[in-house]
Structure formats: structure tokens, C-alpha cells
Amino acid sequence: MKPGRRLLVAAVALSALALAWPAGAFGTSSPSEQAQQLLQRTRQAAASHDFSGTATVTWRDGSTVRSAQVQVTDADGSVEARVGDDVVYDSGDHTYVKDGSRWTSIAVDPSADGEVPGVGAHWKLTTRTGPQVAGRSTTEVVATRRDGAVAQRVAVDDDTGLLLKREVLARDGTVERSMTFTALDLGATTTKVTAPDGLRAERSSTITTVPDGYVAPATLGAAVLVSRSKQPDGVLLWYSDGLFSTSVFEQRGTLDSSGLPAGGTDTVVRGTSMRQWSEPSGTVLVWERDGVVFTCVSDAPTDVIDAAVTSLSAPERSALERVADFVLGPFGWN
């Protein structure tokens, strides 16, 4: 992951914001079912409305709270999101990133070949009157853990169904990251949203099994494996628990720490040493195991990520093994 792309990963998520919420769509369904239906509809977002607006994205990086302003334009289902001089263009089928002056393409994962779990399978959902966001009244959908601790709050516009605010919370109630629209202009936009010229989109292909040497657990914590795809330089797995998602990118080779982005902290998750970054879109973890480099990106709270990574990590090497690595490494015997 390049340093200049990190803010923009969050901006891509803003492409799933607009959604028609038809009157009477819920009928006589239960409050939990109503909440699930509302969340499902918000994920179809950009295909339903044109709009432009400004969103504030905040995230907690250790003890520091960081923020960024994102300018978002949605026209005919294509979305442009800007953070300063950086830009994301997303049309669903193609995603392009402009990091300063250079455009690059991001391979878009194929459609899911597995079933995404229902939100209610692992989370308790409730609805209540939400806050005013960008001057608009909302309904708030609250997702709680089994012990009652809130994991996520989202505010949905009562008139249009637009998702106007999202907060992801740690088990102790701390807001780990959030997105809030501060201004929103509905209807046709005068800004034309177009893909960059002369750039070939990267492609990925669905696979039913991963090649030898890679791993693809059926579950990561409560999340289930929804899709596997072959990328230009590795394998991408996508997991979901119905509310949060986790992407795992695997590449064969040795982790070159000097090539990692600036910042980040060293951490140990279930006995495995990793490098961790806190980003506006979620948590990024990078580590190596058995000749494969793993990059894990998740929008879930920290406790949920820790539980998920257990299936992919391995116990830390012993002190004796590390000494042997140091002594024998130059000779290529380890």
C-alpha cells in the first residue's frame, strides 16, 4: 500500500452513500428486520442519486485523533472523491487513484461467489431517531455486540435514504473512526465525473481454490469467506460478517520492511509480529508467514480484527529459532 493512497482508501468507501428508501418498504417486519433492510439498501447507494457534498473523516491513530475533508461528487453512478490533490474515481467496475499527479488503477474484485451473512447473524440491530446531519433529519441504526457494547452507529437520511454518518466504536465505547457529511447538495451536479484517459484497468479473476502455498480459511472469526480472486501479483480474499468486511491480500516472497510506508507501529497479534497502520478506512496489518506476505485491511473495530487475524497468524518464532536465523541466514541454510 503506497503512503499517498491511504487517505484515498477511505474516500472509495464514500461511493456507497446514496440510496432510495421507498415509503412503506418495511411493511410489518420486525424492528431488527427493518434495520437490516435499511443497511442493505444503503450499500446500493451511488446507483440511485446524483449528489455532491463534503464529508469529514476522522480516525484514531494511537492516542492521536486525525481528520480529513473529502469532497464527493456522484453523477450517474460514478463517484469522484478528492482529498487535497489526491483523487479517487470509482465506477463500480473500475477504480482509479490519482496520487498527486500520477494516476494508477486498482484491480476491482469480481462479484462475490459466496453468500454474504445476514447482519443479524452476529449483531443485534436497533433503530432510533438519529441526529441532524448536514441539516437533515435521520434515523440511526445501532449495531451492538453480544455483550451489549455498541460496535457501529449509522445515520440515514429520512427523506432520501442517503447514509450521512457512520461511526465505528471500540468495545470500551471509544469512536475509532467516523465519516460525517457536513454539506450535501442533492440532485443533478454540474461537475462531470469521468475516468482518466489512456489508463488500462487492472483485472482480477474469480478462482474457486487458492494455489498451493496460499491459505484461505473458511472463516476469520465471525466473518466468512465470500470471494477469492487472482490479482496481477497475488491472491485476494474477501470476508464479511454481514456488517464489517476484511480483505486479505497474499503475495509470495519475503517482507521488505524498508519498502513499507512511513508511520505505522510494531504490534503483536496472537503471538505474530506485525506492522500496523490506523487509516481513515480501517486498520491495515502487514506480516510474513511461511514465505507469504499478508496485507489485511478491515473496517471492523480493533477487537473484531484481532479475533479474525488469529486464523491467519502463527506463533512467534522461538528465541533459539531467531538465533539460528541470524547465524545461518547469510549462508542460505535457514
Is there a single domain that holds both residue 182 and residue 252?
no
For 113-148, write each residue's pLDDT tens digit.
667 877 878 899 999 999 999 999 999 999 999 999
Do 211 and 277 fall within a single domain?
Answer: yes
**Range scoring the smallest mean pLDDT among 98-107, 173-182, 233-242, 319-328:** 319-328
170 in the same domain as 270: no
Residue 128 lies in a domain: yes
**Pair (181, 211) in one structural domain:** no
Last residue of a domain, one of 186, 221, 245: 186
Are residues 145 and 293 both part of a single domain?
no
CB-count burial class (<10 Å; 0-12, 13-18, 19+) for 227: buried
Q: Are 224 and 114 in contact (CB under 8 A)?
A: yes
Average pLDDT over residues 88-114: 72
| 334 within a domain of the structure (yes/no) | no
Is the same domain home to 52 and 156? Answer: yes
Q: What is the DSSP string of 225-290?
A: EEEEEEETTEEEEEEE-SS-EEEEEEEES---GGGSPS--EEEEETTEEEEEEEETTEEEEEEEET
Question: Are the CB atoms for 244 and 123 separated by under 8 Å?
Answer: no
Are residues 218 and 178 located together in one domain of the fold?
A: no
Q: Are 73 and 59 in contact (CB under 8 A)?
A: no
Residue 93 lies in a domain: yes
Domain containing residue 257: CATH number: 3.40.1000
How do residues 58-88 score in pLDDT, each as one tens digit?
Answer: 999 988 999 999 998 888 878 888 888 888 8
Tell me: the pLDDT tens digits for 290-326? 889 999 989 999 999 988 888 787 554 455 544 544 4
Same domain, 178 and 212: no
Q: Are residues 38 and 160 in the same domain?
A: yes
19 and 161 both lie in a single domain: yes
What is the pLDDT of the chain when averaged over all its residues? 79
Sheet with 124-129, edge to edge strand ranges: 102-106, 95-99, 86-90, 78-83, 64-75, 51-61, 175-186, 163-169, 150-157, 138-144, 124-129
Beta bridge partners of 58: 67, 178
* Residue 96 resides in a domain: yes
The H-or-E segment that residue 20 falls in is none
The phi and psi torsions of 329 (rounded to 5 degrees) equal -55, -50
Question: How far apart are alpha carbons 285 and 294 in whole angstroms?
Answer: 8
- 300, part of any domain: yes
Boundaries of domain holding 290: 205-320
Give yes or no for residue 105 having a pLDDT over 60. Answer: yes
Contact between residue 230 and residue 207 where contact means Cβ atoms under 8 Å apart: yes
Is-contact 90 78, C-beta < 8 A? yes
Same domain, yes or no: 111 and 218: no
Are 137 and 130 in contact, with CB atoms under 8 Å apart?
yes
Pairing of strands 234-240, 265-269: unpaired
Q: What are the DSSP calls for 221-238, one per residue? A: TTEEEEEEEEETTEEEEE
> Are 266 and 309 part of one and the same domain?
yes
Contacts of 88 (CB under 8 A, 6+ apart): 8, 11, 12, 79, 80, 81, 82, 95, 96, 97, 98
Q: Which residue has the cell 480529513?
A: 68
Domain count along the chain: 2
Does residue 133 fall inside a structural domain?
yes
Q: Say what percent of the chain tops pLDDT 70.
A: 77
In a domain, 333, yes or no: no
Q: What number of other Cβ atoms are within 10 A of residue 186's Cβ?
A: 16
Highest mean pLDDT among 5-9, 32-36, 254-258, 273-277: 273-277
Average pLDDT over residues 188-193: 64
Query: Is 325 contained in some domain?
Result: no
**Structural contact between residues 202 and 181, judged by C-beta atoms closer than 8 angstroms:** no
Rounded to whole angstroms, how far apart are CA atoms 251 and 95? 21
Integer angstrom CA distances of residue 331 from 324, 325, 328: 11, 10, 6
| CATH, residue 62 | 2.50.20.10
